[in-house]
Each structure stands twice: as C-alpha cells, then as structure tokens.
Amino acid sequence: NFSKPILGIETSCDETGVALLRWDPEKPGRGLLSHALFSQIALHAEYGGVVPELASRDHVRKLLPLVRQALKDAGLTTADLGGVAYTAGPGLVGALLVGASAARAMAWALGVPAIGVHHMEGHLLAPLLEVDPPETPFVALLVSGGHSMLVEVQAIGQYRILGDTLDDAAGEAFDKTAKMMGLPYPGGPALAALAEQGTPGAFRFSRPMTDRPGLDFSFSGLKTQVLLAWQASDRSDQTRADIARGFQEAIVDTLAIKCRRALAATGAKRLVIAGGVGANKRLREQLGQAASDDGFRVYFPRLAFCTDNGAMIALAGAIRLASGQHQDETIAVHPRWSL
Ligand code: KG4
Ligand code: ZN
C-alpha cells in the first residue's frame, strides 16, 4: 500500500540522510513529511578528504538515531511505514552497505518492500520536491563530487545520457583545486566563497572542450592550468582569491555553454540543475540569466536538496514502489553503477 509513508535512506558518501515521504504526485513537495541529515564534514576535514572506513563507521552510529528523529518529526512510528528506499549505488561500498543492510533489515522486520535506488536518479528528481516542479521532458545537469553529466529526462525512469565527464567531475575539480591552494575540505564551498573577493578578469582560464561539438566535459586540464598559475604567482591572499574567481568563471561558463547546447540539441524548454555544485551561486546566477535570454526555464532544488540527502532517495524510491517495482531480499550494492 503506497499511500503509506516511505522511509528513504542515503549513505553513499559522507552524509547520513533520512526522510519520510507519503507519495502524492499532486502535492507540493510530493508529500515530504520530514527529513534529517548528519554531515560528516568535521570528521573528514582533518584528513583533507573522505576516509571511507571512517565514513562507514559513522553511518552505523548515526543512521538509527536519525530514523527515530525523522519518525518523531513526522509524528509516525515504524508501524506506519509502507516501504523502505535506500541508495544502492554508486558510492563507497562500505558506506552503501550500512544503508542497504539497515533498510533491508527494517523492511524485512516490518514486512514491507524495500527498494535500492540509484543515487543519481535521486539527484535528478530532487527538483520535484519543490513547489512548481518541472514537467517532463527536461534536460538535467547533474554536477556533484563524483559526476558531471547532462541527461535528457524523457519521462521519470526514461533517461538518455547526453554527456559525461572524461576525467574529473565538476565538484571534484572544485575540491582538488581548492586543496592545491591550501583551502580547507570540502573545497567547493570554500573556493566559491573566496572567489567573491577575487578581481574579475585578473586570471582567465580556458573553457575546456567548448571549442568543438559535443556535450562531454573534461576538467583535469583546467585544474593543471590553475596549479601552474598558482605556483607562478606571489601566493598572496588577493592572488588566491583572483585565481579562485578565474577558475569558478571557467567552470561555470563551461557548464552553461554545454547546458545551452543540450537544450538546443533536444529542443527541451526546461533545465534542471542538481547535485552539490548546483549550490554554487554563480552557476545559479549565470543559468538564470541564460534562461531569460534564451527563453527556457531553469529549476533548482533548495540548497539542502542539492547536496546529498534522504528526501531525494525517498522520492525516487516511492515513485518506483508506486509503479509496482520491487526487488528480492538480497543485500546488494553497486559501488559503480551507470544511470
Ligand atoms: O552531490 P554532493 O553532495 O555529493 C556527491 O554525490 O558527490 O556534491 C558534493 C560536491 C563537492 O565536490 C562540493 O565541493 C561541491 O559539491 N559543492 C560546491 C558547492 N557546494 C558544494 N561546489 C561549488 N560551489 C558550491 N557552492
Ligand atoms: Zn550526491
């Protein structure tokens, strides 16, 4: 019975996310009842990046308290649940297994179905949690720490990959560049904040792969350009901010150029931005401007649903369960899994 609330669990990387959603296609927020998140950023900051084993252990510690919290916030008990959705991949294998085991065990104990969800489908559908959600078809730009993809969403569940990254993901490029310049982990938000203080035009880097047709991305050369500029500079605080600004402009421009190309190629009039880099202010500004210039509409999830969260997993799982999909009881995860 899928008019009952679905529990969503996200543990693919360094955020433990949990949410409850009573699927209702007509309702704003699609029936989201509560969500709770614990970020492990402070835990990994000391090491300058995510330590997989520490991530798994922290998911073990935080997952059940978060489930209790989400139930309490929604005024529900486990007896009210109609199903459990969890991220089955892609992601860190140990971290994924924590969510998958907990979800499967809970579903088995409660006698309700469980479903493994693709993490990127979660990101892709996150804008549907907002008021005035996009209708299909749309083009989605998925930009996170692990992915940079352009996807044509013909309908929910019908995806065509238009472009992918050949090397670093957009978020990864932000993080690695930030680390090179001595900024704290996670580098993306830190670099974006620093770029605000940079002088426009002081540094100009190339817009990789925009000079030829196609919708794939490559950011590793850009990272090297920035490294060389940083090493050759006076390394003052102002120069660091100037370089950060030049780098951010290059990435944002590149993403915007490819989005416009994808819209032209598919004839779509709606663009969805999802994934952690979707929280970037300059990207939001620039695509907002492109939308009004070119006459398309752009949709962003709220900032908390751009980065990893349980709500997007509850949503993607609820849609699949409502359409009659279910899986056997094996606890299986897919660290690498294409959309
Ligand atoms: O979607 P997400 O939370 O996790 C993955 O599935 O990877 O994305 C995290 C990525 C990180 O690389 C982080 O640095 C980046 O998103 N990020 C940002 C900003 N906020 C998060 N990058 C640029 N500007 C931001 N404001
Ligand atoms: Zn993600």
What pLDDT is stored for residue 25 in this prediction?
86
Q: Can you tell me the mean pLDDT for 180-209?
A: 95
Q: Can you tell me the mean pLDDT for 284-305?
A: 96
pLDDT at 326 over 80: no
Give CA 71 to chain center in angstroms.
Answer: 24
Ligand 2: centre distance to CA 228 (Å): 30
What pLDDT is stored for residue 29 in this prediction?
87
Confidence label for 333 from pLDDT (cuts 50, 70 and 90): very high
List, for residues 153-185, the tens digit of each pLDDT value.
999 999 999 999 999 999 999 999 999 999 998
Ligand 2: centre distance to CA 316 (Å): 14
Residue nearest to atom 26 of ligand 1 (CA): 280
| Structural tokens at position 221 | 């050369």
Query: Would you say 175 is a known binding-site residue?
Result: yes
Residue nearest to atom 14 of ligand 1 (CA): 188
Q: Does 145 sit in the ligand 1 pocket, CB within 6 Å?
A: yes
Is the ipTM value over 0.95, yes or no? Answer: yes
Q: Does 89 sit in the ligand 1 pocket, CB within 6 Å?
A: no
Which residues lie below 8 Å from residue 116, measured CB to CB, with a gap of 6+? 85, 86, 87, 88, 89, 100, 327, 332, 333, 334
What pLDDT is stored for residue 27 in this prediction?
86
pLDDT at 210 over 60: yes
Q: What is the position in ligand 1's atom list of the atom closest to the CA of 171?
A: 12
Q: Does 189 sit in the ligand 1 pocket, CB within 6 Å?
A: yes
Of the candidates 207, 191, 116, 124, the one whose C-alpha atom is nearest the C-alpha of residue 160 is: 124
What pLDDT is stored for residue 2 in this prediction?
59
List, for residues 42-75, the tens digit of each pLDDT value.
999 999 889 999 999 999 999 999 999 999 999 9
What pLDDT is stored for residue 329 in this prediction?
78
Q: What is the position in ligand 1's atom list of the atom closest to the CA of 274?
A: 1
Query: Would you say 17 is a known binding-site residue?
Result: no
Residue nearest to atom 21 of ligand 1 (CA): 276
Strands (E) in 11-121, as ranges, are 15-21, 32-39, 83-89, 114-118
Rounded mean pLDDT of the chain? 95
Ligand 2: centre distance to CA 96 (Å): 12
Q: Determine the residue of 16, 174, 191, 248 to mutate for testing ligand 1's pocket, defined as the one with the most ligand atoms within 8 A of the Cβ atom.
A: 174
Q: Determine the residue of 120, 141, 144, 181 to mutate for testing ligand 1's pocket, defined as the one with the most ligand atoms within 8 A of the Cβ atom.
A: 144
Ligand 1: centre distance to CA 307 (Å): 6
Q: Can you tell me the mean pLDDT for 278-283?
A: 96
Residues whose Cβ atom is located within 5 A of ion ligand 2: 144, 308
What pLDDT is stored for residue 303 in this prediction?
92
Q: Can you tell me the mean pLDDT for 282-309?
A: 96
What pLDDT is stored for residue 1 in this prediction?
45
Q: Can you tell me the mean pLDDT for 132-157?
A: 94
What is the residue whose two structure tokens read 């090493």?
231
Q: Determine the residue of 121, 255, 277, 336 to mutate for testing ligand 1's pocket, defined as the one with the most ligand atoms within 8 A of the Cβ atom.
A: 277
Contact call for residues 272 and 141 (beta carbons, < 8 A):
yes
Contact call for residues 186 and 135 (beta carbons, < 8 A):
no
Query: Would you say 143 is a known binding-site residue?
Result: yes
Q: 75: number of CA atoms within 13 Å, CB side? A: 1
Q: Which ligand lies nearest to the CA atom of residue 144 in the structure?
A: 1
| Structural tokens at position 59 | 């998911």
Ligand 1: centre distance to CA 173 (Å): 10
What pLDDT is stored for residue 240 in this prediction?
97
What pLDDT is stored for residue 325 in this prediction?
87
pLDDT at 120 over 90: yes
Q: Can you tell me the mean pLDDT for 201-212?
A: 95
